[in-house]
Structure 1
């Protein structure tokens, strides 16, 4: 007898709680897992997947998460939305990204809009059955049968969304395409032949960048053959002398540019920061009101993400009460966690995927007076998580210092600021967001942006009460110019 991974009683309890639309979404999500059961109902499908050992407890959690039944996650499966998200970030998903995207689209469409889509699709599939009350997912299935839509075939749906003025949904499709393209590119092996090995040593981590004039000439070989470089070599022309390569900028071309981790333990700035860095092209992971243990675990989980390998940078924003050297998060014991340790989680020895890439930290510390802090020891991380990260093997022949490529901006202000205006955002973070949103300022290097940030904070302090004045510290080990925009 085949071993089942999920008790049948759980499947029964969940099925009883779902409405018809939610059942349709679940069946659609599982469509690729059992193609021979395309017409089965939800119970038959889940039982079959269970018997074939394709459905695990985590997979069942993911399905409920995808249809946004977080109440059933908690009540029946005894888990939380955050736990499912953390598992999805570090393990392989049961549901293909394409199917998850289509379900997300389905939830964002009104009935009238689905009718408009069905009407537009008559031009492409005139004989397709267009029932009046057909759902978007049913339309997608019909288009899949005609080979007009698929994981790598979304131009038709994108065009239809554009015609009904759902630009937000066209952007979601475009983002999916970019991520799929990046995934396929990075999955290809890189081969270096003897000829390429004889060329100048160009780092794979930091390839040459556009500095004005692109060199598209072929490189002539001694035997008369020519080689077109896999990456265009960009050159700058000096006033005199030979042409030389300019490699003094960090590569910022990946999509997304990187992961941006935001931990706001105060709660006044998260929305503003999330919007700012998402608009810049970052994959934003936002957390609010974490205690110290949760903060440390979140940092460790993000440091382990393999996604860093395909990204060109990393950003971490922390907002918390604390001392000049540590953060307290939402804990009232003021045990604190050292800021220096946070930086170490993302250095090259701890996070090899970020070797040679810029790592930016923006810290807003609301300083609690020493007489209000409890004298307790610093937090100790449970288990071997920290040790395992520190012992991760970096790539061979590392020539970049482990502490390189770090940009550390820390702003300190008295915690009494929060008591006087508990809902106001940090002036430091507000100015940072304004500068990064300004299309003209955004063209500046990060050091020039921070200089402007210094000026604004200094002007604020000129008229502010001493207890409301901000102290700004910048430390960095950047080796090149950094622009927070594709270069």
Structure 2
């Protein structure tokens, strides 16, 4: 036995002291630590963890603390509740926060409430066996097996708690979500449920709940084809990625410090702060500019494209927010023909910006579309390079390593609420801010963004709906650092 292992007689002694409910809780807490032993009893699980050197006296103390057997902490392990809490405060944790949350909720539910939850879940999982005396933790395990509940997929449980008027439990879940979204995976490990951990090549944090449905759309994305917002998208297994991501020949290098230049030009002024915080948090050197006219924007784009520092970075991001039409943006100019979006892209292709050769270049465009009868064509703006004839539909970017996300909404949306942020950009920031989501490649993240925008459209007037177009010529998978 090594120094980090627990004597077998202690495991036996503790198991003998626990009642049936406490054993169930402890087995549930350990599910992610030994996913291959999902059907084993507590003693088998603890012995296996001990043999694999995953169970230490400190870890065993945490388990007893989580099931509130403070008497056993003192009597068998000769430690105190305060000592365990001090270890947990330093993030020396064996058990995932998700498991702890579910056990806490379990302890706060009455038997009749668990029965009500089982009844409500018939609408979502009609084939799930609903035994009369099934515990809340047993329900959660069944839902995990159906990929309806996961560490980052708790909306279903929230909806059920809403139905039984347990707002206090909803607040617990929302607090957990908030803490998970702002914590770094370096200080708070990312965990998965046991069923997902047993499946190969599967995104363990955010599983493809409807995998296989949209393979055709995903193939289009991989080939660089256009994808318009028409219906909600779900990831295939291939695009959801695996955990944790390691750089390989089929993924872009994303390790430089800074990760790259992020240029934000916000001619409306409502989105700069949240975008700056998001991309600075990802490791980008962020440069923000508000309320530029077209000449100023053109000069700024040229200046940034000529920076030598690109050659020391692994990527580039450009975000534009402005009034415009399908092929141009207007900036703050009152008289305009518009600045061609294609020209913006050309400034950063490899022939114009050699420092970005072979590196991913990401563009996120929010256009507030002005009706044609309100547009004026009197701009004399000159741009570098030969301007191409722009058709009524933006062409697919032909240069390599470009990711082009263009969202359009009628300018009346802005006029009705001049200080409101873009729903598209707000959702983008939320997804990129979440370390769980960043375990997935950019295409998978964008498909979830597509779904969020589509779902948001369902609740508004057609004239106020967002339209989202994704075009790309990426040659590899792109993962943001976690």
Specify the TM-score bucket, using the shorter chain as the normaliser.
0.3 to 0.5
| TM-score, reference length from structure 1 | 0.46
Say which structure, 1 or 2, has more relative contact order (CA 8 Å, 6+ apart). Answer: 2
| TM-score, reference length from structure 2 | 0.46
